[in-house]
Amino acid sequence: MLQTLSIRDFIIVETLDLEFSGGFTTLTGETGAGKSILIDALSLALGERNDGAVIRAGAERADISATFSNNESASIWLEGAALEAAPILVLRRVIYADGRSRGFINGVAVTIGQLNALGELLVDIYSQNAHHSLLKINTQRQILDEFAQHLDLASQVTKQYKTWVDLHRQRIEVEKNAAAYADELAELRDKTRELKQLNFEVSEWEDLQAEHHKLANGASLLSGLEACIAALDENEPAVISMLAQVQAKLVGLVEFDAQLKEAAEEVDSAIIQLEEASRSLNRYLQRAELDPARLNEVENRIQAVHNTARKYRSKPEELPDLLSADLTRMAQLETFANDGALAKLEAEAYATYQASAKQLSSNRQQAAKTLSQRISAEMQRLSLSGGRFDVALNACEATSNGLETVEFLVAGHAGVEPRPLNKVASGGELSRISLALHVTLALNSLGDGQGASQGSANRKNVDCMIFDEVDVGIGGGVAEVVGQLLKQLGAERQVLVITHLPQVAAQAAQHLQVSKTQVNGATLSHIQPLSQTERVEEIARMLGGIQITDTTREHAKEMLGV
């Protein structure tokens, strides 16, 4: 549920802090007052694209924060994104004057794409032009699948179709290029045999180079060690002997000044460490020896690796990955070379697709009947008396969307046959049918069990729905029915509705009003919750316009039931 919305320096909003309740909330105001600014700001906080200048004149940046109560889908998403889940989610968007923007979830910087992905699990926004998408065949299919609550099955069918098509294309390609594939396989067998015989690992390459460096510089290493040992303990004078003399002198001086004791102890410690170093160097020297045979062996191994890498146009450290890739390609080509193996895989993939697609078709047939009945019933309530809504399923060749196309048919009144929605519905009819579909889908996703496929409920249960003037083109008694539908939906979810219709606004549980003022020559937008008295005045304004009469107020009170 949307709990709060804070807006700073956005278009004509300087500062705005709103708290929201559950249920049905309406947002009203004069035309041009900025009602849609709230939706635009919230959309940006939810990760929508920033398509224009949205920063208030004179400001350096716009800052929008929206607070939501968490839900199960959001928690799962947060876990997958390695973000900490919390009971309260704060989505924030900061937009700068140069067009840059930053997104945050609970104070953690995220990409705008991540904001959008999480936002889709928290809010559904339906704009006043959303009903135009209803004319698209793809939208109609998605609506039916959502109503049937088998989106997972539909997605599975799409994936299985792709698997089958890929195998089909692969088989055709193999049959066409059989000779070329056989030659490639033969080359790969020789190549992988050589790489396996080389038996080379990246870790060995590092060890070989280190050992070669040591062996190649063996003489210098031995002479250098002898010189170090001599300087420490054998030369006249030797470093250790000289330090022993210094230490003895300091011990004598300590009798004159005790403060020299610490220096004497430090010199003594240095002597001990140098003696240990000398012993370590002697032990190393006793074990060290020139090994021309091993040097030759290491150089031969390095040369073999270099030769193989040059042969296959690769770097030495890339040879193990090259072998792995070639083995994978060989396995693929060997499958191709196995007569009938690829055809069998293709047939199995097609059978799997057909089984899922037929189950999808069966689910769609059941859901289409129920959805047709429900929307037809809503049409009667929305003053489309005698009207009828049908979901037509037309068989077609196998596609990524199944074995049929989905098309919405409508008859606006009795006595006519339903025809495609995009050919017969007027703007007002389309708005009413669209609203009926939105409400029906939302109520259906709550799990009432009607029309849903058994065991396939996977609709994202967003807690907040926002309708931005979706009642355009509607008036009179129809508007009151629309208000009843939204009120019914508000009993189950948080519903925020921007409307010009008093019949809709009067049925809301909470009422927000948008207004504009002039401050120092600048236009600013304000939103405030209305008291019961203020609400009477606002409904009266919506009913009667500029001149509000006592009669209009009484009508408003009657609509509000006060």
Domains and CATH numbers, the chain: 1-122+462-529 (3.40.50.300), 532-562 (no CATH)
Helix (H) or strand (E) holding 168: helix 151-176
Residue pair 419/410 in contact (Cβ under 8 Å)? The answer is yes
Coil/strand/helix, residue 339: coil
Q: Encoding tokens for residue 288?
A: 């060290």
Measuring CA to CA, how many Å separate 56 from each of 52, 91, 95, 275, 376?
12, 21, 11, 77, 46
Based on the number of CB atoms within 10 Å of its own CB, is 118 exposed (0-12), middle (13-18) or buried (19 or more)?
A: buried
Residue pair 29/42 in contact (Cβ under 8 Å)? The answer is no
Distance CA 253, CA 251 (A): 5
Measuring CA to CA, how many Å separate 427 from each of 106, 131, 180, 222, 468?
42, 9, 60, 95, 16
Residue pair 76/10 in contact (Cβ under 8 Å)? The answer is no
Distance CA 227, CA 235 (A): 9
CA angle 328, 333, 336 (to 5 degrees): 135
Q: Which residue has the tokens 């460096």?
A: 213
The answer to whether the Cα torsion of 265, 270, 276, 279 is positive or negative is negative
Residue 109: what are its φ and ψ, rounded to 5°?
-65, 130
pLDDT of residue 455: 36
Residue pair 348/169 in contact (Cβ under 8 Å)? The answer is no
What distance lies between CA 116 and its chain's CA centroid?
7
Q: Which residue has the tokens 């140098």?
A: 274
Reported as a single tens digit per residue, the pLDDT across 335-383 is: 766 667 788 899 999 999 999 999 999 999 999 999 999 999 888 888 7
Low-confidence ranges of the chain (pLDDT < 70): 32-34, 52, 128-132, 216-219, 221-223, 288-291, 336-339, 425-428, 445-461, 471-473, 521, 523, 545
Residue 75's CB is within 10 A of a number of other CB atoms, namely: 15
Residues 283-289: contacts with CB under 8 Å, at least 24 apart:
284/225, 285/222, 285/225, 285/226, 285/229, 288/218, 288/221, 288/222, 288/225, 289/218
Distance CA 424, CA 405 (A): 19
Residue 398: what are its φ and ψ, rounded to 5°?
-55, 130
Distance CA 559, CA 508 (A): 11
Distance CA 538, CA 544 (A): 10
Measuring CA to CA, how many Å separate 503 from each of 26, 356, 464?
11, 46, 22
pLDDT of residue 545: 66
Torsion angle defined by CA atoms of residues 157, 162, 165 and 170, in that order, rounded to the nearest 10 degrees: -140
Distance CA 54, CA 58 (A): 12
Give which of 465, 463, 473 is closest to 482, Cα–Cα: 473
Residue 526's CB is within 10 A of a number of other CB atoms, namely: 17
What distance lies between CA 414 and its chain's CA centroid?
47
Residue pair 504/479 in contact (Cβ under 8 Å)? The answer is yes
Give which of 67, 65, 63 is closest to 10, Cα–Cα: 63
pLDDT of residue 458: 43
Residue 201's CB is within 10 A of a number of other CB atoms, namely: 12
The structure's pTM equals: 0.60
Cβ-based neighbours of 328, under 8 Å, separated by 6 or more: none
Q: Encoding tokens for residue 230?
A: 């001599």
Distance CA 560, CA 562 (A): 6
